[in-house]
Amino acid sequence: MKYFTRYTGNNTGKALRILSLALALAPCYLHAQSPAPGTLQLTETGYLYKPGLNVLVFNSHYGLFGDEKLAGIELIHHEVRTATNGDVRLDATPEQWDSIPQFIRRETDKQTNTVRAWLRYPAFNFDYTIEVKPATEGVVIRVLLDKPVPAELAGRAGFNLEFLPSAYFSKTYMADGKAGVFPLYPTSNMALSNGRTAPLPLAQGNRLVLAPEDAMRRVRIESETPLLLYDGRNKAQNGWFVVRSLLPAGKTGTVLEWHITASTQAGWTRPPVIGHSQVGYHPDQPKMAAIELDKNSKALANATLLQIDDKGTIRTKYTAPVQRWGNYLRYQYYTFNFSAVKDTGLYMIQYGTTQTKPFRIDKSVYQTAWHATQDIFMPEQMDHITVKEAYRVWHGASHLDDALQAPTDRVHFDLYAQGPTTDTRFKPYEHIPGLNVGGWYDAGDFDLRTQTIYGTVTDLVHAWELFRPTRDETLVDQTIRYVELHRPDGKPDMLQQIEHGTLQLLAQFNAVGHAINGIVEAHLEEYTHLGDAVTKTDNLIYKPSLGPQETEGNFSGRTDDRWAFTNRSTALNYGSIAALAAASRALKGYNDTLAMQCLQKAVQVWEEEQTHPPYVFNHGNTTGGPLLDEKMQAALELRMATGQQKYADTLAAHFTEITQQFNRRARLCIQALPYLDASYQARVKELVTNYKQGLDKMSAQNPYGVPVTGGGWAGSGVVINFGLTNYYLHRAFPDIIGSEPVFNSLHYLYGTHPGSDISLVSAVGTESKKIAYGNNRANFTYIAGGIVPGVLIIPPDFPENKEDWPFLWGENEYVVGLGASYILLVNAVNQLLHSNTP
């Protein structure tokens, strides 16, 4: 569930690691008018609006993974998206991979403030229209049919609207006047039908009121067709509360009509958000807060910086006028510049009655900001190894049965695919020995994505070579598959992480002769597993001659082993070559045997790739980046590892091609400069000058000075890569590229972003992400040092990062590759500020 950008009406995607300035130029969506109080009006951007309530109607569609809780009719109630997925569905509480309709088209009518959407279930030849129109204090939703519901869908097809559980925890509901309480934990009754379990309704009636006691969340739904309230969490922890009405059989025209009203407070405006760094600031760097206001709020003249002393006394340190930035997304923005304050201390920002949490101004403010990521998050994600922290075991040594050869002609549900051949000597479902070493869980799930692994290794090597962070807080013993946090072992932790990733990359080449797409759970019941990965399987290698409950030594008859997707991809080979060549440099003197193996394999595979046309196998985001990019990175790392001119000649031969997309390849170009002659360096300087013009334009697109992307996966990764790109450019051409874009990237991660002021790095900063999408998400907790995707722009203009609901993966799912690039970025900022990084 990773890395893909979802576009309206087009489920194409791009790997998150690709940084493009063009992508960064995300449009602003501004309201052209202020609707009359009390009645929803259709905005220029295509949704129904009044202060305190917005109704979105298929502004977003179902995404790459089906049900992403970002589709259909949605309610934004007092600036919280509380309901989604208003649509005709075939299940009372659909799960992520259950049937979804095909979106056909959408139309708006400004004269009547009406929105209509046309959809279809092709497998059933079932077409329908949904119409939404304002009514007193709310909307009327109608489902219209030209033909009756197909017989096979009678009693299945119904209109659903899903409500966010965390918005209604500890609140009540009333169905036809009968009261109930929304359960904090799923405890409703289940029924067995046709071999499947399904929840029974919590309540039913023709008039349903949610949270009657809470004016901020009260919603009333009325319908002549019975309303059924379900708890979807009984089937899946990421389920929502669902209100549903079955579509009647044998009818056409308007077959279902709901009247929905939502309470709003007269004159309500969203409280200001003071976007600032929760980590704090170095005395010598720019310090700018972004004040985000409701579009109907009246701005105040000044903001104040308060200082707190060790006696708890709070005094005014600095007051200055706020400067209007302008409108962006759905809000108006002002900036508060307090760069003049350089005194070390503890501070808060106050704007009217809104006050931030305390933060520091100190020269050492970033020195420890990367420690949680290296000390906790990176080790916790290590596969094939037990990870212990004091009294807690994060997980046991998992996936020791890796891996079975994936079957041919198979498209997996998580972006993997196997073509018509295996491209190995192994038959489908045959065990491939040697793959049960190294690697990291890619994200909040448990697959080993090769592209993630080699990207992580390469970024860690660059951090090691540039900054030499010898921090040692973790014991790693590969021989007994054991890791213990907060227990130094006399070895630099960064080298141990590089070693761990390298072991998996080498294992792939040794097992099948080339890099593979990755290793992933074969079945949904294993893939959706939450908790300790060691309990996902029996850790025994599948042996087909044994029965399902039989074991024999290290073998069993259970087909719970992960699958290895093994089609050849030259792009994956080059990416792995780059990581192995880079690792050979870092590991030299630490693990000389492994370093030698890495370099030998990298050189061998490079030579093999020059003897044939590229193998091109593209599917999802698992088969490598653009071929030229991967090849040039491999050539660069080999040149650095071997000193041989032929690799630099390869870079020179493709230089013109590389520079055709300089914004995306700037970091590569800068790294290659020492190995190219003066004419190339002059050309790069010209390109950097042109890049600066685009950078200035991009920086003016929003108040944060970084690219804020749209789509189904939020943009923390893009922001980190933006910061790293500008770091390399600044180092090479400080007279052209300043350091501020690098600082802005960290500020964005630490709270200077739309929607809230929370740090997007768990346990880093005063107020940080404490509920996120890790493999512990069912516990509503976090993994220290993990970086979440961040602020997702819900089309067309609503910035969201849920802080009370972990299951929105596009906002809250940790990805291990971001951990490595974040460590690199923080150390880069430390260097720019002349800090000593321990």
Q: How many CA within 13 A on the CB side of residue 547?
A: 2
Q: Are residues 299 and 319 in the same domain?
A: yes
152: helix, strand or coil = helix
Whether 367 maps to a domain, the answer reads no
* CATH number for the domain harbouring residue 349: 2.60.40.10
Measured distance CA(280)–CA(228) in Å, rounded: 49
Contact status, residue 444 vs residue 774, Cβ threshold 8 Å:
yes
The residue type found at 711 is G
Nearest C-alpha neighbor of 124 from the set 91, 101, 98: 101
| Residue 115, H or E segment | strand 114-121
Residues 6+ away with beta carbon under 8 Å from 194: none
End-to-end CA gap in the chain: 35
Point out the domain boundary residue: 305, 340, 361. 361
Measured distance CA(81)–CA(55) in Å, rounded: 10
Contact status, residue 268 vs residue 216, Cβ threshold 8 Å:
no
16: helix, strand or coil = coil
Point out the domain boundary residue: 262, 294, 313. 262
- The string of DSSP letters for 515-526 reads --SEEE-SSHHH
- pTM value is 0.94
Q: Are residues 256 and 279 in the same domain?
A: no
Whether 486 maps to a domain, the answer reads no
* CATH number for the domain harbouring residue 203: 2.70.98
645: left (phi over 0), alpha (psi -120 to 50) or beta: alpha
CA angle 43, 47, 48 (to 5 degrees): 80
Whether 679 maps to a domain, the answer reads no
- The string of DSSP letters for 457-504 reads HHHHHHHHHHH------EEEETTTTEEEET---SS-HHHHHHHHHHHH
pLDDT recorded at residue 38: 73
Q: How many CA within 13 A on the CB side of residue 156?
A: 15
Residue 468, both tokens: 């030499």
Q: Range of 117's domain?
A: 38-262
Q: Are residues 277 and 258 in the same domain?
A: no
Q: Are residues 109 and 203 in the same domain?
A: yes
611: left (phi over 0), alpha (psi -120 to 50) or beta: alpha
Whether 307 maps to a domain, the answer reads yes
Burial class (CB in 10 A: 0-12, 13-18, 19+), 564: buried
Whole-number Cα distances in Å, 746 to 609, 667, 704, 760, 790: 39, 18, 11, 10, 13
Whether 33 maps to a domain, the answer reads no
Q: Are residues 177 and 200 in the same domain?
A: yes
Measured distance CA(811)–CA(791) in Å, rounded: 6
| Residue 662, H or E segment | helix 662-672
Nearest C-alpha neighbor of 729 from the set 694, 775, 763, 767: 694
Q: Are residues 57 and 105 in the same domain?
A: yes
Contact status, residue 43 vs residue 33, Cβ threshold 8 Å:
yes
**Count of the separate structural domains present in the chain:** 3
Q: Within the chain, which residues score under 50 in pLDDT?
A: 1-36, 836-838
Whether 488 maps to a domain, the answer reads no
Nearest C-alpha neighbor of 272 from the set 295, 251, 238: 295
pLDDT recorded at residue 710: 85
Q: Are residues 301 and 406 in the same domain?
A: no
Whether 125 maps to a domain, the answer reads yes
| β-strands 345-351, 302-308 pairing | antiparallel
Whether 334 maps to a domain, the answer reads yes
Q: Are residues 282 and 242 in the same domain?
A: no
Contact status, residue 452 vs residue 442, Cβ threshold 8 Å:
yes
Beta bridge partners of 88: 159
The residue type found at 327 is N
Asked whether the bond before 403 is cis by omega within 30 degrees of 0, the reply is yes
Dump pLDDT digits (tens) for 142-159.
999 999 999 999 999 999
- Chain position carrying tokens 């449009």: 27
Q: Are residues 603 and 542 in the same domain?
A: yes
Q: Are residues 308 and 346 in the same domain?
A: yes
Strand order across the beta sheet in which 288-294 lies? 273-275, 288-294, 331-337, 323-328
Q: Are residues 349 and 439 in the same domain?
A: no
Q: Are residues 255 and 282 in the same domain?
A: no
Point out the domain boundary residue: 555, 588, 623. 623
